[in-house]
Amino acid sequence: MRLQLSTWQEVDSYLKQNTGVIVPIGSTEQHGPNGLIGTDAVTSEKIAQLISEQHDVLIAPTISIGMAQHHMAFSGSISLKPSTFIAMICDIVTCLTSHGFTHICFVNGHGGNVAPLKVAFSELYSEYSFSKRTCPFKCEVTNWYAGKRIHQLSKELYGSSEGSHATPSEVSLSYYIYPESVKEAVMTPKLAPEGVIRDALDYRKQFPDGRIGSDPSLASIEDGEKICAAAAVDVYEAYQAFLKE
Ligand code: NI
């Protein structure tokens, strides 16, 4: 069930049975020479939609712009500052919980969102902690790219060429979702360098074509289909465990 395609009465009746919601979240940032700028958002969204087709789970609209300040030296990247991102997450969670949702699960496709998401959750909880009131909701972040099935599958498919940004796994998944947007590019060097992420100009200097440790020329639509199915199982399993808390 998708929030954007539901009426308020349908949301009312969903809330009588179920108070969990999945919020897909990604980023709008460069993904190397053959990766789509929307990779992190379109992948999270697809996995969430697949889960909602298979199970009775409400999916909120995808948050497509995240915290990606370090990608700003590449054309097309759009980022929120951490403070803006945190404020946005707090507002979204506050709105959802005001309607009676108790379990807010962010299905995330971008590593840079993890720290500010957790800070946002602490901001929300601190309102209750400081006044010693019981918090009526819980928040969680589930990174689709870090589930156990995905970990296993990416190891089998790409070994040490997976890397950590513009990975063949995420590029494959985006190609499966948008086969008309598959790109051809030569990777030089074949395997991208590794390093520490800081500001945007430092990032561009260390990782000139945007990739970190990966060889996304290995990406394929066929792999993307397997990755999508495995990620949906990983994420749904994590969501079910979260609901039981
Ligand atoms: Ni990504």
Per-residue pLDDT reduced to its tens digit, 147-199 = 999 999 999 999 999 999 999 999 999 999 999 999 999 999 999 999 999 99
CB-CB contact of 94 with 124 (8 Å): yes
Q: What is the mean pLDDT of the chain?
A: 98
Q: What residues are neighbours of ligand 1 (ion), with CB under 5 Å?
A: 39-40, 170
Give the tens place of pLDDT for each residue, 90-147.
999 999 999 999 999 999 999 999 999 999 999 999 999 999 999 999 999 999 999 9
pLDDT for position 130:
98
pLDDT for position 186:
96
What domains, with CATH codes, occur in the chain?
A: 3-243 (3.40.50.10310)
Report the separation in Å between the CA atom of 115 and the middle of ligand 1, taken as the mean of its atom positions: 15
Nearest to 138 by CA among 93, 89, 88, 85: 93
Give phi and psi for 44, each to the nearest 5: -60, -45
Q: Up-side HSE of residue 45: CA atoms within 13 Å toward CB?
A: 19
Report the separation in Å between the CA atom of 39 and the middle of ligand 1, taken as the mean of its atom positions: 6
Report the separation in Å between the CA atom of 203 and the middle of ligand 1, taken as the mean of its atom positions: 15
Tokens standing for 101? 């949702």
Report the separation in Å between the CA atom of 85 and the middle of ligand 1, taken as the mean of its atom positions: 17
CB-CB contact of 176 with 228 (8 Å): yes
Alpha-carbon Rg for the chain, nearest whole angstrom, is 18
Can you tell me the mean pLDDT for 27-38?
98
pLDDT for position 159:
97
Can you tell me the mean pLDDT for 76-84?
98
pLDDT band at 38 (very low <50, low <70, confident <90, very high): very high
Which residues is 165 bridged to in the sheet? 212
pLDDT band at 232 (very low <50, low <70, confident <90, very high): very high
Can you tell me the mean pLDDT for 205-231?
98
Report the separation in Å between the CA atom of 112 and the middle of ligand 1, taken as the mean of its atom positions: 9
pLDDT for position 134:
98
Tokens standing for 16? 């009588």
Share of the chain above pLDDT 70, in %: 100
pLDDT for position 59:
98
pLDDT for position 121:
99
pLDDT for position 4:
98
Report the separation in Å between the CA atom of 224 and the middle of ligand 1, taken as the mean of its atom positions: 14
Tokens standing for 4? 């954007």
Report the separation in Å between the CA atom of 55 and the middle of ligand 1, taken as the mean of its atom positions: 26
Report the separation in Å between the CA atom of 165 and the middle of ligand 1, taken as the mean of its atom positions: 6
